[in-house]
A = this chain, B = another copy of it.
Amino acid sequence: MGRGLVLISLGLRDELDMSLRALEEARSCERLYMEAYTTVLDTDPERVSRLIGKPVTEASRELLEENADRLLLEASKMRVGLIVGGDCLAATTHVALLVEDSKRRIPFRVVHGSSIYTAVSETGLSLYKFGRSVTMPLHGGADTPYNVVCENMSRGLHTLILLETDRKTGRHVHVGEAVERLLEAEERAGRGFLDEETLMVGAARIGSVDQKVLADRAGRLLKEDFGRPPHVLMVPGSLHFMEAEALKALAGCPEELLTRAARPRRSLADVVGRYLRSVDKVLGDVRSSRQALDERARRVLEEAERYFMDAKHYFDRGDLTTALSAVAYSEGLLDALRMIGLLEFEW
């Protein structure tokens, strides 16, 4: 590749997190930029420049987002490198740049690097058990992060919440503030997913020598000082016993929190399972009570039985939401019969 755009990941914290490939690619570029607004790093263009041995210009949001034409025009004439903190494609901004580049048929290369998305495994939580992740913005409510946490929790999955930092003002959402805003959102919604006793994991500066990782009850994290940004907050879903052990050993989690968290309070499978057992019991009771039913009531009862069987079928196949709607519908049919006085039973 002669001319073209090279996206070069810097990795988690500073220039020593660059891979040998990243360094080699950077050294082969005629012009180098460093993007320093989507991530918070322990380095700056000057230090990176010293390592590479070539000048490195700081790239503003304006250059990359509104004025990308200029950058791509350069890349169409010479080899231009853009150094980005973390993994260079974790932020959609840089994917967008690559798309623009590719539309103009300008060659490109990508060098990947370490990223907070995988480095959170240092808490002891397993990567494959994270549901979707979400950012908590500096301004505005926490309803979206809260909803994502509830959605993941109800499936037993962990949530990674990235906490926003404003590089210009230095203001950032710290762990305690994020916990507070989640608890406020819980209070407004009243869904019963979170309270001060909920196990959460706060982390700061993962990958640097002074990183801090702490798993504890929300009420404790509220008051904990995690120091300099970047911070992230994780809300675990259900825990495999290996994860529980790891949280204790690697993130100082108090023992008593683990037994509780290991059994999720309300996983969807639990909810549907409970529904199924209770409808199953009622159908059994009704059958053995041999109540005299009129023709129409019998048809409704048969329908309830049919939907119950469907619900079990979907439940066994792991389609929990279809199972839920079928069993709730069946319950509605049964309750209507009971309320009208055509069938006697107790839940």
Contact = CB atoms under 8 A, between A and B. Distances in A.
Interface of A is mostly: helix
Contact of A207 (B103, B112, B330): B112
A137 to B, nearest CB: 13
B113 A19 contact: yes
A113 B118 CA distance: 9
A253 to B, nearest CB: 12
Interface string A99-133: 10011000000101111011101101011111111
A296 interface: yes
Q: For chain A, which range describes its interface: under 10, 10 to 19, 20 to 34, or 35 or more residues?
A: 35 or more
A340 interface: yes
Interface in A1-45: 9, 11-12, 15-21, 23-24
Contact of A331 (B17, B250, B271, B329): B329
Contacts of A134: 128
Nearest to A319: B191
Contact of A127 (B110, B117, B329, B330): B117
A325 interface: yes
Contacts of A87: 114, 118-119, 121
A242 interface: yes
A300 B339 contact: yes
Contacts of A103: 249
Contacts of A119: 87, 89, 112
A71 interface: no
